[in-house]
């Protein structure tokens, strides 16, 4: 259940203060958005480090925290010598999970908490995951046609990616 639902007498400002506390403690937090059709999660706090926030769709809260958390920890600690992963990059995350990075076209639509804290200039990068057979959601055979994973932006042009790399577990 959502925080606001569990705290009916609270305001949005109260909730944003909870998020600020988590960011002060760790440098970032993960906001999970429950949805009957396709849930999603995104980081809040990376924008405070001059980085795009990260987003993932169609995974459980636990999986979202694991995938976003490892990458957010690396970003917040400035572990990337080339900055945040660029659109088109393919990364192997713990699991192992293969993801391709896609620029989120309208972060203000999907990342409300980040926009509330950092303003309308928040950038977002979606971690689009391949299914167990390495197929992407833009393929008709993705996940044997069962699961959906909305892609919230256009894929990068070929040759724009910064290559494939493995992200260490934290």
Question: Is 146 part of a structural domain of the chain?
Answer: no
Give the model's confidence band at 68: pLDDT under 50 very low, under 70 low, under 90 confident, else very high.
very high
pLDDT of 36 reads 82
Segment 105-157, tens digit of pLDDT: 999 999 999 999 999 999 999 999 999 899 999 888 888 666 679 999 999 97
When computed from its CA atoms, the radius of gyration of the chain, rounded to whole angstroms, is 16
**Domain tally for the chain?**
1
Residue 170 has pLDDT above 50, yes or no: no
Q: What is the pLDDT of residue 95?
A: 78
Residue 76 maps to a domain: yes
Domain span at residue 78 reads 3-134
The pLDDT tens digits of the residues spanning 10-48 come to 999 999 999 999 999 998 999 999 988 889 999 999 999
């Amino acid at each position: 259940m959502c925080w606001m639902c569990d705290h009916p007498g609270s305001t949005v400002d109260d909730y944003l203060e909870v998020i600020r506390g988590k960011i002060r403690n760790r440098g970032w937090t993960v906001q999970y958005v429950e949805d009957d059709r396709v849930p999603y999660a995104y980081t809040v706090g990376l924008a405070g480090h001059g980085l795009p926030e990260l987003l993932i769709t169609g995974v459980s809260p636990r999986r979202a925290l694991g995938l976003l958390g490892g990458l957010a920890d690396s970003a917040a600690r400035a572990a990337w010598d080339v900055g945040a992963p660029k659109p088109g990059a393919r990364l192997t995350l713990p699991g192992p999970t293969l993801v391709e990075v896609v620029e989120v076209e309208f972060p203000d639509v999907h990342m409300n908490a980040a926009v509330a804290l950092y303003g309308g200039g928040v950038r977002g990068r979606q971690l689009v995951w391949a299914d167990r057979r390495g197929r992407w959601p833009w393929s008709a055979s993705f996940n044997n046609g069962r699961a959906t994973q909305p892609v919230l932006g256009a894929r990068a042009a070929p040759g724009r990616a910064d290559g494939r790399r493995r992200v260490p577990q934290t």
